[in-house]
């Protein structure tokens, strides 16, 4: 069926059989429907028919209900348009149509109506929706995966094929003391040589091993690295794993993992230390009791003899020396029994803040005028479970140790702080420091660098008390730069 129309300056006869076609006058009367349009709208009646009645089953124009009407826009602007329209019948699925509408002029050039061609694009739109929903689902999965990796306690680097850093998580920032915005996009090889290797105890060994795997595209497994304390990072042990990326966007790059094994290393160290201490502990415990009984006997007879002697008798002074030596020996035994935990103690809740405040005068007297003491305490109380006298002994032992490390004077810092789970006592000095070969031995009983001036039990007692109260102790020191002892105790609220 042909219809003669004029579009612009040309008149043509069109016979549309592929897509639905309608010709509509300016009053929205449908003057012509091709067969496809009749089939689409299931219309077998006569023409004209109102377009809104045919297409929307309404008795008034659709734009009166606020709906955008492409036909009205064509009539007002006198120019064609293309738009996508959503169409459905009650109980049937939604169809998506592309409407191509153009003004139609009669042979005299007067606007006679509109030609509207309707193309069913439902399959394409449905596919687009499916793809978009799939992309959104994958984006959410990726976001969830990144959230998991971000929160992981395992440090992760992802490198591209040119070994530039494309991603790292919070654990890496914490372990390395770096900020991601400063290193994303940077060449990891250059970063290792310029910065990263220097955070390790053995920088050249780390750089050589890691860079070799980059060059040879090989794996690293169970490579332990000792991170030294520094700006923005704590001392820790990391176990390093690394593997090439073999496919995908970053094929040719690498994934690197760093696992914090500090706790395991400490347990291993404590286990070895306990193994060394056990035979000594058993021997000391037995000897201490026997020796204490022997001292009590010696002291008892000396006191009886002193009673029978005149005050000015030449032997009287010797007896006093014997009694003093017995008392000193008894104190050493008491320290030994405390260290070996053979002596029962009372455990209760104590306020660390008040305890430290209470012994500040004694600390300042102990340090003397040539050492400047700085105390940093929190305003609120930090409550732990422990024994006041033992914690005082721990603090005083560390303070005296610091004093002995600064014979020419210096600075002492005592800090008390908390992270919400643990209370931390820090004792730091600006003294001579401890050589690295001696550092592992300082908590061993009878180990001393003070010669006859030291018993070698001070730090052993500190270690024993801290461990018996469920705490932990760590030490950082460099020769010529001073020493920092950090003790941690669980807060009583956390224990409860």
How does pLDDT run along the chain (496 residues), one tens digit per residue?
Answer: 344 444 444 334 444 567 899 999 999 999 988 888 898 888 999 989 998 888 888 888 877 777 788 888 888 888 889 888 887 777 778 888 898 999 988 778 788 889 999 898 989 999 998 999 999 998 888 888 888 888 888 999 999 999 999 999 999 999 999 898 999 999 999 999 988 989 888 889 999 989 988 888 888 778 888 888 888 888 889 999 898 998 888 899 999 999 999 888 877 776 666 666 666 666 666 676 677 778 888 878 888 887 877 777 878 888 887 888 788 777 767 766 665 554 556 788 999 999 999 888 888 887 888 999 999 999 889 999 988 888 888 898 899 889 988 988 999 999 999 988 899 999 999 999 988 888 887 877 666 665 545 455 678 778 888 888 888 889 998 888 899 999 999 998 755 4
Strand 111-120 versus strand 254-260 pairing type: unpaired
Among 93, 123, 105, which residue's Cα sits nearest to residue 26?
105
Question: What does the buried/exposed string (b/e) look like for 324-349 if buried means 16 or more CB atoms within 10 Å of the residue's CB?
Answer: eebeebeeebebbbbbbeeeeeeeee
Among 479, 397, 476, which residue's Cα sits nearest to residue 432?
479
pLDDT at 485: 93
Decide if 36 contacts 20 (C-beta within 8 A): yes
- Burial class of 308 by CB neighbour count within 10 A (0 to 12, 13 to 18, 19+): exposed
Structural domains of the chain, with CATH: 3-120 (3.30.450.20), 152-260 (3.30.450.20), 265-339 (1.10.287), 348-495 (3.30.565.10)
pLDDT at 72: 86
pLDDT at 340: 57
pLDDT at 322: 85
pLDDT at 11: 37
pLDDT at 337: 65
Rounded to 5 degrees, φ, ψ at 471 are -100, -175
pLDDT at 2: 40
pLDDT at 429: 93
- The DSSP string of 256-308 is EEEEE-HHHHHHHHHHHHHHHHHHHHHHHHHHHHHHHHHHHHHHHHHHHHHHH
Q: What residues contact residue 227 under an 8 Å CB cut-off, 6+ apart? A: 175, 176, 199, 200, 201, 233, 234, 235, 236, 237, 238
Tell me the pTM.
0.48
Structure tokens at 95: 């169809």
pLDDT at 332: 67
How far is residue 176's CA from residue 206's CA, in Å, rounded to a whole number? 14
pLDDT at 283: 66
Decide if 454 contacts 434 (C-beta within 8 A): no
């Amino acid at each position: 069926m042909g219809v003669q129309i004029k579009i612009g300056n040309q008149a043509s006869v069109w016979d549309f059989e592929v897509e639905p076609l309608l010709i509509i006058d300016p009053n929205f009367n449908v003057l012509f429907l091709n067969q496809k349009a009749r089939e689409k709208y299931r219309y077998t009646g006569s023409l004209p028919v109102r377009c809104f009645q045919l297409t929307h089953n309404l008795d008034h124009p659709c734009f009166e209900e606020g709906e955008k009407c492409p036909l009205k826009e064509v009539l007002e602007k006198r120019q064609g348009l293309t738009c996508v329209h959503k169409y459905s019948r009650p109980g049937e699925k939604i169809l998506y149509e592309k409407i191509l509408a153009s003004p139609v002029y009669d042979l005299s050039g007067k606007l006679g109506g509109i030609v509207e061609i309707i193309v069913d694009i439902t399959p394409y739109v449905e596919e687009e929706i499916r793809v978009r929903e799939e992309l959104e689902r994958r984006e959410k999965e990726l976001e969830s995966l990144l959230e998991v990796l971000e929160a992981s306690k395992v440090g992760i680097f992802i490198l591209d094929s040119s070994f530039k850093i494309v991603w790292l998580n919070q654990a890496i920032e914490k372990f390395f003391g770096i900020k991601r915005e400063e290193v994303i996009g940077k060449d990891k090889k250059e970063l290792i040589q310029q910065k990263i290797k220097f955070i390790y105890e053995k920088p050249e060994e780390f750089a050589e091993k890691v860079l070799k795997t980059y060059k040879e595209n090989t794996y690293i497994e169970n490579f332990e690295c000792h991170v030294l304390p520094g700006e923005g990072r704590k001392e820790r042990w990391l176990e390093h794993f690394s593997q090439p990326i073999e496919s995908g966007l970053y094929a040719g790059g690498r994934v690197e993992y760093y696992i914090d094994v500090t706790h395991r290393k400490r347990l291993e160290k404590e286990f070895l230390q306990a193994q060394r201490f056990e035979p000594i502990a058993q021997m000391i415990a037995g000897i201490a009791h026997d020796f204490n009984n022997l001292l009590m006997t010696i002291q008892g007879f000396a006191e009886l003899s002193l009673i029978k002697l005149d005050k000015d008798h030449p032997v009287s002074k010797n007896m006093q020396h014997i009694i003093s030596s017995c008392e000193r020996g008894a104190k050493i035994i008491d320290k030994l029994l405390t260290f070996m935990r053979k002596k029962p103690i009372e455990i209760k809740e104590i306020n660390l803040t008040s305890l430290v405040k209470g012994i500040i005068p004694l600390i300042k007297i102990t340090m003397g005028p040539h050492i400047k003491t700085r105390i940093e305490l929190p305003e609120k109380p930090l409550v732990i479970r422990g024994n006041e006298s033992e914690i005082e002994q721990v603090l005083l032992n560390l303070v005296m140790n610091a004093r002995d490390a600064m014979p020419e004077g210096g600075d002492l810092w005592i800090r008390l702080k908390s992270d919400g789970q643990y209370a931390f006592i820090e004792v730091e000095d600006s003294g001579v420091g401890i050589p690295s070969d001696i550092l592992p031995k300082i908590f061993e009983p009878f180990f001393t660098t003070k010669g006859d001036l030291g018993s070698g039990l001070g730090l052993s007692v500190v270690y024993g008390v801290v461990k018996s109260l469920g705490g932990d102790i760590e030490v950082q020191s460099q020769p010529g730069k001073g020493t920092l002892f950090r003790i941690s105790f669980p807060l009583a609220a956390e224990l409860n």
